[in-house]
């Protein structure tokens, strides 16, 4: 068992920051000590196997990205990051745990979908991982299978109000699944967009000859997100189920979530970096023409980017400060331009939806601290502590305290990170949606269960370092 002492740094938690040394023994944190402390009369610097000098740096819990899609089949292709490449990229960016989505498609068994994702991930991950379960076919068999998910360490499931013919659930199916949620304590996660109405708008745009990528966003208007968010909240209220709305992008959807929370309902929301920093206008591309060009496919995702003129991003930053939105995940679902996004040349409805961000979430949110959007403590809370509490990992993950897994990031606020394909980019993509972004900070050292896997711009980990983590019920429910 290797012992490590992280010394000289400022340990940041969701509740405060203070100078402290962190002693790691094997895979867990043994002690958090006053700087220079001795433990049982021992000079720690002389007695440990490794000393990490964190002078002038922040020592934070490893990030938890609670919404990723590695190797996800979608739109006639498959997400370009494997569990190996995607988790390695996550490690580079200071994320030490992901929660991915096992998929049950229409006509398939829930148990088989979960088993298939275990097979994909097993022995391939650089960091620890868990699973949510997508329920793509709500029927008697799947409702029965859902009741056994908690025993498998899967304490949340996802439904879609979008994508008719693929993952879509109608209101009756949503209600029945939410009733199981209320019965078992499983967290209902919802992709809240009115899919059938979106399909009508999309087809009308195609018939008008408006086929370029930016029309993806026009078809998925904010009204479609607000309406579905409200409807999912009402169904959850009726069922008495907890609800977690994924990838919130519209300020009107934020207002629906805030109103439900103010009324005392167990409703939560996440947003993603793309909705905080990017806008629909980015899809106009270099030409600046009214409908853009195919370059805009780089930023096609669902929910879509919103217009900067409507100030959605401002409202999302505010919601993060006021806790109307509780956390930031990535919805990491990467596709290359060549042979993948290009499937939608001439028809935006055929562009695979997704942006790659798993490597950059911690940095992008730290820039939010630098820019005055967030406090240092809130940065840690929304990227590590809240995800751990929301999805049944807290105590083991998301915190620096004795007994917790030694998932630790040493972050240098005086460092600098330039994001771009030829700079800091380890995701399996042929472009970066974040090309040219500059971050006033840098991930220096990353420990995953006590192993140093990134240090001084060198990757020291390997596939198989990560393990499946069983999750308990959400620690946010009342």
Whether residue 306 contacts residue 398, with contact meaning beta carbons closer than 8 Å, is answered with no
Position 75 scores a pLDDT of 84
The domain defined by 63-390 folds into TIM Barrel (3.20.20)
Q: pLDDT for 330-340, tens place per residue?
A: 999 999 999 99
C-alpha 4/C-alpha 23 separation (Å) is 6
Mean pLDDT taken over the chain:
95
0.95 exceeded by pTM:
yes
Q: Find the mean pLDDT for residues 388-410.
A: 98
Give the pLDDT mean for 148-177.
Answer: 97
**What is the band of 290 on the pLDDT scale with cuts at 50, 70, 90?**
low
Of the pLDDT bands very low, low, confident and very high (cuts 50, 70, 90), residue 43 is confident
Domain spans in the chain, listed from the N-terminal domain onward = 63-390
pLDDT tens figures, 370-380: 999 999 999 99
Q: pLDDT tens across 66-75, in order?
A: 999 999 998 8
How many CA atoms lie less than 13 Å away from 139 in the CB half-sphere?
10
Give me the mean pLDDT over the 325-353 stretch. 97
Average pLDDT in the 127-149 region?
Answer: 98
Neighbours of 165 (CB within 10 A): 8
For 315, the 3-state DSSP assignment is helix
Helix (H) or strand (E) holding 307: none
């Amino acid at each position: 068992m290797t012992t490590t002492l992280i010394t000289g740094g400022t340990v940041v938690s969701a509740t405060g920051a203070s100078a402290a040394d962190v002693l790691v023994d094997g895979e867990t944190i043994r002690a958090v000590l006053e700087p220079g402390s001795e433990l049982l009369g021992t000079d720690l610097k002389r007695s440990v196997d490794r000393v990490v000098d964190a002078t002038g740096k922040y020592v934070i819990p490893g990030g938890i990205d609670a919404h990723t899609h590695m190797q996800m089949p979608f739109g006639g292709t498959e997400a370009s990051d494997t569990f190996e490449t995607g988790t390695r990229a996550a490690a580079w960016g200071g994320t030490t745990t992901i929660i991915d989505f096992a998929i049950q498609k229409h006509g398939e068994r829930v148990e088989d979908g979960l088993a298939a994702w275990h097979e994909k991930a097993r022995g391939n991950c650089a960091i620890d991982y868990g699973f949510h379960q997508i329920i793509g076919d709500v029927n008697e068999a799947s409702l029965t299978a859902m009741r056994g998910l908690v025993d498998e360490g899967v304490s949340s499931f996802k439904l879609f109000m979008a994508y008719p013919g693929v993952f879509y659930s109608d209101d009756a199916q949503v209600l029945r699944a939410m009733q199981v949620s209320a019965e078992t304590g499983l967290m209902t996660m919802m992709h809240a967009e009115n899919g059938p109405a979106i399909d009508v708008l999309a087809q009308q745009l195609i018939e008008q000859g408006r086929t370029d990528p930016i029309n993806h966003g026009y078809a998925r208007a904010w009204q479609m997100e607000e309406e579905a968010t409200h409807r999912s909240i009402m169904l959850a209220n009726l069922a008495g189920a907890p609800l977690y709305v994924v990838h919130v992008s519209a300020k009107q959807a934020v207002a629906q979530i805030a109103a439900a929370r103010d009324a005392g309902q167990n409703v939560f929301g996440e947003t993603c970096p793309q909705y905080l920093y990017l806008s629909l206008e980015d899809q106009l591309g270099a030409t600046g023409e009214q409908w853009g060009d195919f370059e805009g496919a780089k930023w096609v995702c669902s929910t879509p980017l919103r217009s900067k003129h409507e100030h959605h991003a401002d409202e999302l930053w505010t919601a993060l400060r006021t806790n109307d939105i509780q956390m930031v995940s990535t919805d990491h679902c990467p596709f290359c331009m060549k042979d993948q996004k290009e499937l939608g040349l001439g028809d935006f409805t055929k562009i695979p939806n997704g942006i790659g961000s798993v490597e950059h979430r911690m940095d992008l949110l730290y820039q939010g601290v630098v820019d005055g959007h967030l406090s240092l403590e809130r940065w840690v809370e929304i990227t590590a502590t809240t995800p751990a509490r929301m999805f049944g990992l807290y105590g083991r993950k998301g915190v620096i305290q004795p007994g917790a897994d030694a998932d630790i990031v040493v972050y240098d606020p005086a460092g600098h990170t330039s994001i771009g394909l030829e700079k800091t980019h380890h995701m399996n993509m042929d472009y970066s949606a974040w090309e040219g972004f500059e971050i006033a900070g840098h991930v220096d050292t990353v420990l995953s269960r006590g192993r140093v896997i990134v240090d001084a711009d060198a990757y020291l980990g390997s596939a198989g370092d990560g393990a499946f983590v069983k999750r308990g019920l959400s620690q946010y429910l009342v």
